[in-house]
Amino acid sequence: MRSKCLISIIAIVIVLTGCTRPEEAPVLKRVTNVEVTKVTGKEALLNADAIFFNPNRVSMKLRKVEVDVELEGKKIGQIEHSMKTKIPANAEFTVPLDATFNMKEVGLLKSVLSMLGGKKMKVHYRGFIKVTVHGLPIKVPVDYEDEVRL
């Protein structure tokens, strides 16, 4: 009876020490491929790729993306994705940031002129991604701003 209890305690200690949090959270390196890909009526589709780096020796799973998109200081949309994507250890990984926005919110004339003229505009991504390591959730902040030619 006593040996069963001792084995159970050792097993619990091994499991708990194996489920440690990662040394560092993934890091947002850059946002690339920002472009308006589709304009229909009053809506436009803004696509981008967020490049993160996982500096840890353990792989993770990307579970959720919640990012607000601002154009010239105005919130134009929100990106919400739930997924189960594997993130490799010590490697970069890409998270798609696709948002549909109403051009009326930004100003229809300003939007059309900037898209036709290729004007540079400030795009700000703010929110978080949620990853899990051995089942433990970690929120990774996203706060990235860039001037892009739409």
Per-residue pLDDT at 17: 46
Q: Is 90:55 a contact under the CB 8 Å cutoff? A: yes
Residues 24-82 pLDDT 10s = 778 888 888 877 777 777 777 878 888 889 998 888 898 998 988 887 788 878 888 88
Rounded-to-integer distance, Cα 60 and Cα 92, Å: 12
Residues 24-35 pLDDT 10s = 778 888 888 877
Cross-strand partners of 80: 66
Q: Name the residue among 41, 101, 40 with its Cα closest to residue 69.
A: 101
Q: Which of 67-71, 99-103, 113-117 has the highest mean pLDDT?
A: 67-71
Query: CB under 8 Å to 9, separation ≥6 — which residues?
Result: none
> Is residue 21 within a helix (H) or strand (E), and if so which, with residue range?
none
Q: Which of 73-77, 88-92, 111-115 has the highest mean pLDDT?
A: 88-92
